[in-house]
């Protein structure tokens, strides 16, 4: 598997090498986890927006056109769909974190659950394919999307472990651990995202799409019922960009959710920048060092590339933002909008604390997101039908 260097140059190189395969070859091979790359593997860079979805979309469209590359374009659009869906229902993220805390409390008090959870995390269940994916996840910080689906299904329906613990494992280990895609993907496998419709891993499917590398015949529960949960809340309002006041001392808040901040800085002179990494906040448990290293390296790459436009750069924890803004004599702090997840948790209360200091927190929403997110009110196929022509995004 390709190593992931946390730089924009590495992302662009990977994109250039993938583009020739982004049409027919991708459509034919994308579901196969055959021990060699069959997908773009761009997700770690897209997760931190060292490279943006819009960039990737237009490179692929220019090379192949929309019809030939439809499968890849749809996969790319799933990222925006999940984000928009969760952005209109942030209570789902809060419920997940609450239920994760409850599951972790159970781990502390139920010895059988703790034993089974630890065995699954270490890849010691006796199910060869699952154990391989668990170890691969720990060693590389990445899994093929189909392997993620199989893994989640086995975790939930065969091992009978709380889905929140599995979602947490992914967020702790994955370089591309994304709050929306990860949380909602696990809910979808469990049958509580699209209620009553769950994803069941079968031995035949695993054997076929791993090229015969694995065949867990007789080891999986292949006829489970979906999990039950309350229906999701109705969609709420989406964020809009705040007004940037011209001519006042302005800082930039650079968070590892969006490391292409140029659109938020446009037309504004940045006097100082505060860079903070929310990766350690993905879980109450320790985050894999490689996930932290990737995010920190990506932030360093961005700071190095954009240094002339960032003013004096300070790196620190989210709780230091207000003190930094005060000491820099700022009147407003701009930042690319952070979607629902650990980043918004970290910012909870920051806007009010800055306001008390006479400093505005000015969120800027990408035009790409503002165009796509409002259509994520129902299912993906309705979303795909209703969004504008991707060529115009």
| 60-94 tens-digit pLDDT | 999 999 999 999 999 999 999 999 999 999 999 99
Q: State the CATH number of the domain containing residue 145.
A: 1.10.579.10
Q: Is residue 96 domain-shared with residue 204, that is, in the same domain?
A: yes
Of 365, 393, 344, 279, give the one whose Cα is nearest residue 44: 279
Q: Is residue 261 domain-shared with residue 339, that is, in the same domain?
A: yes
Q: Is residue 303 domain-shared with residue 201, that is, in the same domain?
A: no
Q: Could you tell me the pTM of the whole model? A: 0.96
> In the block, which residue shows the tokens 């992931």?
4
Question: Cβ neighbours of residue 16 under 8 Å, at least 6 residues apart?
Answer: none
Q: Is residue 39 domain-shared with residue 110, that is, in the same domain?
A: no
Q: Is residue 74 domain-shared with residue 111, that is, in the same domain?
A: no
What's the domain range around 83? 8-87
What is the rounded CA–CA span in Å between residue 32 and residue 140?
A: 18
Average pLDDT of the segment spanning 364-378: 98
Average pLDDT of the segment spanning 356-366: 97
Q: Is residue 179 domain-shared with residue 261, that is, in the same domain?
A: no
DSSP state of 387: S
pLDDT, tens only, 262-312: 999 999 999 999 999 999 999 999 999 999 999 999 999 999 999 999 999
Q: Is residue 149 domain-shared with residue 190, that is, in the same domain?
A: yes
Q: Is residue 332 domain-shared with residue 347, that is, in the same domain?
A: yes
What's the residue count for the chain?
Answer: 393
Answer yes or no: is 340 within a domain.
yes
Q: Is residue 14 domain-shared with residue 39, that is, in the same domain?
A: yes
Average pLDDT of the segment spanning 343-359: 95
Count structural domains, the chain.
3
Strands of the chain, DSSP E = 250-255, 272-276, 312-315, 332-336, 360-364
What is each CA distance from 171 to 202, 255, 266, in whole angstroms? 25, 17, 32
Tell me what pLDDT residue 309 has: 97
Tell me what pLDDT residue 196 has: 86
Tell me what pLDDT residue 1 has: 41
- Name all contacts of 354-357 with Cβ < 8 Å and 24+ positions apart: 354/321, 354/322, 354/325, 357/322, 357/325, 357/326
Q: Is the pLDDT of residue 130 over 90?
A: yes
Q: Are the C-beta atoms of 280 and 292 separated by less than 8 Å?
A: yes
């Amino acid at each position: 598997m390709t190593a992931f260097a946390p730089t924009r140059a590495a992302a662009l190189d990977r994109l250039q090498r993938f583009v020739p395969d982004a049409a027919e070859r991708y459509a034919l091979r994308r579901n196969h986890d055959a021990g060699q790359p069959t997908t773009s593997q761009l997700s770690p860079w897209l997760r931190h927006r060292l490279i943006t979805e819009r960039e990737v979309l237009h490179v692929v469209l220019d090379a192949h056109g929309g019809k030939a590359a439809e499968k890849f374009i749809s996969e790319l659009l799933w990222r925006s769909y999940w984000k928009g869906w969760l952005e209109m229902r942030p209570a789902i993220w809060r419920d997940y974190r609450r239920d994760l805390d409850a599951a972790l409390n159970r781990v502390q008090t139920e010895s059988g659950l703790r034993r089974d959870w630890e065995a699954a995390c270490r890849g010691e269940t006796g199910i060869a394919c699952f154990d391989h994916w668990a170890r691969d996840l720990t060693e590389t910080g990445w899994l093929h999307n189909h392997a993620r689906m199989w893994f989640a299904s086995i975790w939930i329906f065969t091992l009978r472990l709380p889905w929140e613990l599995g979602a947490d494992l992914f967020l702790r280990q994955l370089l591309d651990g994304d709050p929306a895609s990860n949380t909602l993907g696990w809910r979808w496998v469990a049958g509580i995202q699209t209620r009553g419709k769950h994803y069941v891993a079968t031995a035949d499917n695993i054997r076929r799409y791993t090229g015969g590398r694995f065949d867990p015949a007789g080891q999986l529960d292949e006829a489970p019922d979906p999990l039950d949960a309350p229906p999701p809340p109705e969609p709420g309002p989406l964020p809009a960009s705040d007004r940037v006041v011209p001519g006042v001392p302005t800082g930039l808040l650079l968070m590892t959710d969006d490391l292409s901040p140029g659109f938020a800085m446009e037309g504004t002179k940045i006097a100082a920048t505060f860079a903070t990494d929310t990766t350690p906040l993905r879980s109450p448990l320790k985050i894999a060092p490689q996930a932290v290293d990737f995010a920190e390296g990506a932030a360093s790459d961005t700071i190095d590339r954009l240094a002339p436009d960032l003013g004096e750069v300070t790196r620190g924890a989210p709780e230091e933002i207000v003190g930094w803004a005060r000491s820099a004599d700022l009147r407003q702090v701009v930042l690319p909008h952070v979607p629902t997840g650990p980043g918004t948790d970290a910012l909870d209360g920051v806007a009010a604390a800055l306001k008390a200091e006479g400093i505005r927190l000015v969120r800027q929403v990408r035009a790409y997101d503002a165009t796509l997110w409002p259509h994520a009110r129902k299912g993906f196929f309705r979303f795909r039908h209703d969004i504008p022509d991707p060529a115009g995004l």
